[in-house]
Amino acid sequence: MTMIASEPGEHAARPPSAPARWRGWLLDRASLLIPCLMLLALLAVYGSMREGVFTLDELNLDTAAAMTLMLAATGQTIVLLRGGIDLSIGGMISLGTVIAATQFGDGGATTLLWSVLIVLLGAVVGMLNGALITVLRLQPFLVTLATWSILAGTALIILPIDGGSLPSGWMAFGSGSWLGLASPVWLLILLLAFWFWFKRTRTGIAIKATGSNERSAFLSGVSPLAINLWTYGLSGVFAALAALYLTTQTGAGSPTIGKDYILPSVAAAVIGGISLFGGRGGLVGTIIGAYILTIIGNLVFVLSISSYWQPIASGVILLIAVLASSLAEKSSRRNLS
């Protein structure tokens, strides 16, 4: 058998020309650049209609308004990176708020104890999702749809209508501030710090890798069960945190409020450039996506038009984001071949 040998050096990749390199760089980051541009555009419109949009106060307010969504979407981001989806966060958020509103009482100790218990409950519920998905080989969509329903029902049994009460100190959380930044902003900084740490840990890498190619990850020694326990467990924890934060804002428990966060958490992530097929994207995009959704809400308010315009605008933005990043994806593919 004879094979043709290639000439030495001939195979070495030709360095691309400078403009081509720039194009490639931009296309690579398109899924993050596009939401950034959309946020800037929205802010420009918003700023032209109202005074004081570009101040710390506005940042504090918007972050406070967006934080529940950001927390819920952090969990969702991790799940989407893994290539799954978690609908049960809706049930978990509702359940978290009603437990808090019925159990916190007045004492600092019970508040702390029950907060910890709620977060633990989130972890357990999430890990249960993960275990069911792995062991029974069921679709994440179906499993978390079922647990959502169960959790939401449980919340209704505990507290059939909005109500309950929370300690006044608890509700003061949002008004705290330090160095001009309100506590939700500090919470966001913590969240991002967590993310930049987590995505570099072995577990973080393995979650992303499993979403990117499950079979390859398994062949490389990733345990599917462990990865799903981590992924959905974390999602449950963030849903619980979202519930706790939400009660500091509303001051009450609500057995039905969680469903308002399920699809927006997915939308924020997708607007932020996370692929529903897993493996690609990060929390920074999701946070920007959450801000975009929040600013749209503000705009609808400032324009004093019917609030029904908010979901419509969100939908349009979502479409633009998905379309733009898929176009960028396609042309970067073409660049390659």
Partner 1 sequence: MPDFLEALSVAKRYGGIVALSDATLKARSGEVHALLGENGAGKSTFIQILAGAVRADSGSITLGGERFAVRNPEEAQRLGVAAVFQELSLIPDLTVAENIFFRREPLSPLRTARAGAMREATAELFARYRFPAIRPDQELRRLTLAERQVVEIAKALARDPRVLILDEATSALAPRETEWLLGLSRDLAAEGKLVIYISHRLGEVRRIADRVTVFRNGATVAAYDTASVDDDTIIADMLGRQMERLYPERRNTTTGRIALSVKGLSVENRLADLDLDLREGEVLGVAGLQGHGQRELFQALFGAARASGAIEVWGKPRTIRSPRDALSGRDGLALVPEDRRNHGLLLAKSVRENLTLSVVKRFTRFGLTDPKREAKLVDDMIAQLRIKAGSPEQAAGTLSGGNQQKVIFGKMLLTDARILLLYDPTRGIDVGTKGEIFTLMRDLAARGYAILFYSSDLAELVHVADRVAVLRYGRLAAILEGAENSEHQILRAAMIDTRAA
Residue of 69, 206, 227, 269 that binds partner 1 (CB under 8 A): 206
Nearer of residues 113 and 135 to partner 1, judged by Cβ: 135
For partner 1, the binding residues in 213-242 under the rule CB under 8 A are: 213, 215-223
**Does 137 contact partner 1 by CB under 8 A?**
no
**Does 6 contact partner 1 by CB under 8 A?**
yes
Nearer of residues 39 and 217 to partner 1, judged by Cβ: 217
Nearer of residues 9 and 52 to partner 1, judged by Cβ: 9
**Does 27 contact partner 1 by CB under 8 A?**
no
Residue of 124, 205, 284, 320 that binds partner 1 (CB under 8 A): 205
Q: Among 132, 158, 157, 162, which residue's Cα sits nearest to residue 145?
A: 132
User: What is the token pair recorded at 191?
Assistant: 């969240």
Decide if 91 contacts 242 (C-beta within 8 A): no
CA distances from 274 to 24, 25, 39, 164 (A): 19, 18, 16, 37
Decide if 144 contacts 242 (C-beta within 8 A): no
Decide if 92 contacts 214 (C-beta within 8 A): no
Q: How far is the CB of 304 from partner 1 (least distance, A)?
A: 44
Angle formed by the axes of helices 309-336 and 259-271, nearest 10° = 30
**Does 149 contact partner 1 by CB under 8 A?**
no
Q: How far is the CB of 159 from partner 1 (least distance, A)?
A: 40
Q: Among 89, 52, 40, 59, which residue's Cα sits nearest to residue 234?
A: 89
Strands 181-182 and 177-178, by their bridges, are: antiparallel
**Does 5 contact partner 1 by CB under 8 A?**
yes
Nearer of residues 177 and 212 to partner 1, judged by Cβ: 212
Report the run of H or E that residue 12 belongs to, with start and end: none
**Does 15 contact partner 1 by CB under 8 A?**
no
Task: Count CA atoms closer than 13 A to 69's CA, side-chain side.
Answer: 25
Residue of 17, 52, 179, 200 that binds partner 1 (CB under 8 A): 200
Residue range at the interface with partner 1 (CB under 8 A); choices 203-211, 231-239, 246-254, 314-322: 203-211
User: What is the token pair recorded at 160?
Assistant: 């059939």
Q: Among 79, 46, 141, which residue's Cα sits nearest to residue 270?
A: 79
Q: How far is the CB of 280 from partner 1 (least distance, A)?
A: 6
The residue ranges that bind partner 1 (CB under 8 A) are 1-8, 10-13, 197, 200-202, 205-206, 208-209, 211-213, 215-223, 279-280, 336-337
